Amino acid sequence: MSELYDADGWIIDLTDWKRKDKRAFLRDANKADETGDESLLDPHMMRIIKKWPFEADPGDPATYDELDLFQTAEVSYRVSEALKSLTAQIQQGRVSN
């Protein structure tokens, strides 16, 4: 499958995401923007981020509160890039089940 974002020490795996998962992520992202509570996205991040260049474990819930602002911004950027990559692959017909 092609739903794997693998770049610069990051592995973000969207292979088991369903439409409902993307919808829940987008809902929580909007709510996080409205309230400033980025922790709403932590369960989504823990599920899809398999590897990153930071020392902490991306699967550990406590990790996300300990990220500095630059790391937090990079997490958001990388997940956004993974979603854009998936969309591009779909548009190019490279994603199949």
Q: Where are the domains of the chain?
A: 4-91
Reported confidence tier of residue 87, pLDDT bands at 50, 70, 90 = confident
Q: Is the pLDDT higher at 14 or at 87?
A: 14
pLDDT in tens, 6-43: 888 899 999 888 889 989 999 999 999 999 999 999 99
Q: Residue 96 has what pLDDT?
A: 55
Q: How many CA atoms lie within 13 A of 35 on its CB side?
A: 11
- Which contiguous run of DSSP H or E holds residue 84? helix 69-91
Rounded to 10 degrees, what is the CA torsion of 16, 27, 32, 35? Answer: -160
